[in-house]
A and B are shown apart, each in its own frame.
Chain A
Amino acid sequence: MPDIDALVQRWRDGDERAAEILYNHFRDSTFRLAYGLLGDLNDAEEAAQDALAYALVNIHRYDRRRASFSTWLHTITVCRCRDRYRRNRLKKFSLTAWIGGDEGLSDPHPGPEHHAIHAETSSQVWEAVQGLSLPLREAILLRYWSGHTFREMADILDCPVPTAQSRVRLAYQRLRATLAPTELVHLEEEESR
C-alpha cells in the first residue's frame, strides 16, 4: 500500500512517476465508482479518466487536513458522473415525443443491449441499484461499496449529514422492496397477527 500523502507531495514537487503511481493505484476504484453510478462502461471510463486527470492536474487544490485523497477523488468523480448523467438525459430527451404527449422523457437507464453486454454485472442487486435515482445510487454506493462515513459522504455529496443518512436509509428501503417484496408481504402478515 503506497504512502498516498508522500506520493501527492512528490507529484506536487514535479515527480511524474509519483503521478503515475497515484493514477494506477486509484484507477480501478475510480472506474468502478463511476460505473456503479452511470451503469455504462464507456461513460464510466470517460468520467473516471476525466476525474483522475483533473485530480492530477489540480493536485495543488488538495488539502489533506480537510479530507483523505480518496474522499477528494470521489468528490470529483461524483461531480463528473452527475454532469455526464445530466448530459445523457438531455441527449435522450425527444422533443417530438414530448410534444406528441408521450410519457415524456426517455428512460435514462440502460436499455436491453446493456444487459446483454454487461452480463457479468447483471445480478439482481445490481439491477436494483441501477433502478434507483442517481442521488440514492450515489448514497448506497458510497456507503455500502466505498465504506465512507456519513461525514465523508456529506462532503462528497455536498449535503448535510442527516440528508446523507436519510438517502442511505431510503435507498436501502427501495432496494429491499425490490429484492424481497414477497418477504415483505410475509413479514407484514406476521406483524398484523
Chain B
Amino acid sequence: MNSHLTDEELIGNIHRTLTDAQREVMDRHLTACPQCRARLSDHEAMQQRIRHSLLADMRGVQPSPAMSFAAITPRVKGDKYRTFRQLSGQLFPITAASAALIGLAIALVDLPESVIRLFAKPEPASASSLSALACVLFSVATVGNYHERRFNQLRSSLYGLLAFIIWLGTAVVGLQVIAIVREALSWLVFLVSGKLQLAFALGNWALIPLGLVWIAVVIGGAEYQYRRGGQRISWKLFAWIIAVELFILIFALLA
C-alpha cells in the first residue's frame, strides 16, 4: 500500500463528518491496511478517553445549595410583565414584517429621485429624509432578530422573506447614499481646487468605484444572506449596512 489515510480523514471518521462516498473509500482502505486500522483504533481510544474523563469530571461537580429555585422565585413568579412579554413576543414578527414592508415602500418612493441625482450635476450634499426614515424602519425589523433569541422567531420561509425585503430596501437606499457620497466628493474637490468643472468631472468618475462597491455589497450581501439566512450573524451584517447608510444620510441631512 503506497498511501495511507491522513489524520484528517481518520478524525473525520471517528466524528462521523465524512460523506457516504468518503466513508466507502475509507472502509475499503481500512480492510486492506492494518497500519491505518491501528491508527484509527488509537484515535477511537483517545476519543473515548476524552469522553469518559469529561463525563466523570463533570459528574463530580455539584452546584452549591445556594443555587436553588427559591433564589430565582422572585424573578420567576414576580414577573408582572409576563403577559406583556408573551404578547410582544407574538406581535414582534408582525411588527418586524410591517416595519420592513413600510420601509421598502418608502425607499421605492424615493428611488426615482435617487436615480435622477446619480445622473444629474452634483449639488451640495443633501439627503432625502424619506431614505433615512426607511433605514430607521429597517433597523426596527433587524434589531429584534440581532440578539440571541433565534428560536422564538419566524419559520425559515418567513425569515427568508423578511431578509429579502430588508436586503432589497437597503440596496435601494444604497443608491441614494452613492449619490450623496458623490456630491460630497465633488464639493470637497471644489473647495480644495476652486474649479467647478474639475469637481463635476471627478464626481462623475467617482460614480464608477462607488457603483462597483454598491454592486459588490448588494451581490455579496445577497449570497451571504442566502448562506447564513436566519443566523445571528446575517442580522449583524444587515445592522452594519443599515448603520452606515443611516450615518451618511443623517450627516447629509444635518450638513
Contacts and interface: CB of A to CB of B under 8 A. Distances in A.
Interface of A: 16, 19-20, 23-24, 27-28, 31-32, 35-36, 41, 44-45, 48-49, 52-53, 56-58, 60-63, 66-67, 72, 75-76, 79, 120-121, 123-126, 129, 140-141, 143-145, 150, 155, 158-160, 165, 168-169, 172-173, 175-176, 179-180, 183, 187, 190-191
Contacts of B227: 160
Interface stretch (B71-79, B98-106, B173-181): B71-79
A155 B166 CA distance: 23
B89 to A, nearest CB: 5
A32 B58 contact: yes
Interface string B1-27: 000100110011001010000000000
B151 A35 contact: no
20 contacts: A19-B69, A31-B62, A31-B67, A48-B63, A48-B67, A66-B151, A76-B148, A120-B60, A121-B57, A125-B54, A150-B17, A155-B150, A159-B231, A159-B233, A165-B15, A169-B15, A172-B46, A172-B47, A175-B46, A191-B4
B121 interface: no
B63 A169 contact: no
A183 B42 contact: yes
Contacts, number: 149
Contacts of B76: 16, 19, 53, 56-57
B10 to A, nearest CB: 10
Query: Chain B: interface secondary structure?
Result: helix
B11 A36 contact: no
B54 A129 contact: yes
B176 to A, nearest CB: 32
Nearest to B14: A172
Nearest to B66: A45
Interface in B40-97: 42-43, 46-47, 49-51, 53-58, 60-64, 66-67, 69, 71-72, 75-77, 79, 82, 85-86, 89-90
B39 to A, nearest CB: 7
Contacts of A191: 4, 35
A58 B45 CA distance: 42
Contacts of A48: 63, 67
A177 to B, nearest CB: 11
Contact of A58 (B17, B50, B67, B85): B85
Contacts of A159: 231, 233
A125 to B, nearest CB: 4
B105 to A, nearest CB: 30
Nearest to A57: B79
B33 to A, nearest CB: 12
B152 interface: yes
Contact of B64 (A24, A45, A57): A45
A60 B72 contact: no
A49 B47 contact: no
A63 B75 CA distance: 22
A76 B55 CA distance: 22
B195 interface: no
Interface string B216-240: 0000000000011001110000000
Contacts of B58: 32, 35-36, 121, 145
Given A79-B148, A183-B42, 17 more contacts: A16-B76, A20-B69, A23-B72, A31-B62, A32-B58, A57-B82, A58-B152, A60-B85, A63-B151, A76-B148, A123-B53, A145-B55, A155-B150, A158-B233, A169-B15, A172-B47, A176-B43
Given A123-B56, A144-B54, A172-B50, A45 B11 contact: no
Nearest to A80: B148
Contact of A53 (B42, B61, B75, B228): B75
Contact of A62 (B46, B148, B152): B152
B154 to A, nearest CB: 10
A67 B151 CA distance: 8
B149 interface: yes
